[in-house]
Structure 1
Amino acid sequence: MTMQIMKAWRLHRFGIENLQLDDIEIPEPGVNELLIQIKAVSINYRDKAIIDGSYKSDILKEGPVTLASDAVGIVVRIGAAVTRFKEGDEVVTHVYTKWLDGQRMPEDANYLLGWPLSGVLSEYIVLNEESAVAKPAYLSDEEASTLPIAALTAWNALKAVGNIQAGQTVFIQGTGGVALFAAQIAFALGAKVIISTSKDEKGEQAKALGAGYFINYTHTPDWEKEVLRLTEGQGVDEVIELVAGDITRSVQAIKYGGTIAVVGFLNNPLLRVNVFSLFAKDAKIEALSIGHRRSFEAMNIFLEKHLIKPVIDRVYSFDEAKEAFGQLAKGPFGKIVIKVS
């Protein structure tokens, strides 16, 4: 049989200059696997950290890595024992391929798409049928590709960690993909939303998505005081912490017994906090690792019910992957997507 070849973006050494578009063999699906033709891929800061070498230093020890974890595609071939999907179905990848429900186990981290498992920034992938969810019909390919990390992280930060209810208040840091999903989902839950940004223009755009207020932290560096002012001194029920580093001000911005959901590390992967402020607020701090497949499917029902549309900053062609990562580094408004086919 003649070997069939596809294109895949693979990292050979750390640094964006070492990201190469390679010819590799199209994989064959096993008995419980799907062969998926990729339509669109969205990229995340995790992918950028992998490229930069700041995610894990030994990633490339076994050779080049195909990047990215978030994709939508069409099933073009199925294994003999597949029952969840059929050829022609449109599916979205689930990043934690073996975390289907319940508490995440340490070994689940060994089966993450984009590393340690091969990623999705290629023309085809093979995926176990349990590691995919049905694409929401109301979304385009580009929109659906943004769901696996950004949307699911925002959903679980608000639902699983914060248990946010109508009438409560949430403070969200930034205007990237997770932040804008969180703003839209919180608004749909009936919560009040405050968002931070470095640009008034982005703040106004966030207000159009459901944020009641925005704080420009370049003009108002003591943003925690502004959060308290906007909440009449009470503080917010939850902070969606996307910056990390010193989170003392996030603690100061929550109400007594409030929650900080740590979902990002844009500033620094090391957390620092004033312990006295924790005692004073009886604060709850919880780290969040995306979510399981059952939560993904529940989220999709919610998104479709409320017709929540992902915010996409820009769509790049498959040949423009390097440019896409360059735009990601600039801090886009929403998600960066690469159209594959």
Structure 2
Amino acid sequence: MRQLDTYWQDLNPVALSLLPLAGLFFLLLKLRRGLYRRGWLNSVRLPVPVLVVGNIRVGGSGKSPLVAALALALKARGWRPGIIARGYGGRARQWPQAVHAGSDPGLLGDEPVMLAQLTGCPLWVGPDRVAAAQALLAENDCDLILSDDGLQHYRLRRDLEIALIDGQRRHGNGLLLPAGPLREPLSRLDQVDWRLTKGRAGPGEMALELGLGDAVGLSDPQRRRPLGQWVGQSVHALAGIAHPESFFGLLRRQGLRPITHPFADHHAFKAADIRFDDDKPVLMTHKDAVKCQGLADQRHWYVPLQARLPAAFIHQVDLALQTITGKING
């Protein structure tokens, strides 16, 4: 994926050679959307509002930290959100399944376990998001479903959509897979309710600020350390996420000097991956930390990625949900 990403940023011979396949992909997308619009493929309406957080570009853009921040903000306003996710990378044999803070990320996925730890919300995962949402509602008193990803999962009828945009990489060359990084055409962004941009926002977008919290000890979560205590120092930094450089860049902006160790997204870590022949601290993302808990010692820390949501945005989402709830109950 990382190698393809370099070809997806501009119009080059590799991207242009894949245009016929991108055209075929576009026809399949158009056919599928048409079948849902005409009711020939069934979409399921849930008894509570559904808010989908997703993107049209493949690869990470900060969806899970956004879902976590959104869940906490809406809980503070009196909502009782439940969260559903794909459970990508999970090896469970049966789906859907409930996820808890202590669940095995190897079975249910690293991001869902991270979300369960961050939010404390009921959370169910499975490839069929409708089944996951129905199971969640059957077991929990929730009045709202947040879907982590799933913008293209049209079988689940949604009331609100948030598209997250990477302000640095944007939409690459603007082409559909496999010639470019897009899962859907750029025109799809005109249909969502909000466009949040990680970084500099463009017209019609709201800026989403992503920052790093205090480091948390893997071997003892009670240990906390401000990143400022490592300013100017060399640290090992590892990231098994879709865009590792985004984590490394945030550490540099905090004044640290990371020795970088990028891994593939959802990498299954071994002890050799996180142990080095020196006494430098080892920093990683929260998503990676849920898989490294049993491998860590006093040198290992995770640094939570925190989404800081604009107050105006939370107010708009709250009002929209109140309106939808009134219509559902009416």
Normalised to the residue count of structure 2, the TM-score between the two structures is 0.31
Which structure: greater helix fraction?
Answer: 2
Which structure: greater strand fraction?
Answer: 1
Higher relative contact order (CA 8 A, sep 6+): 2
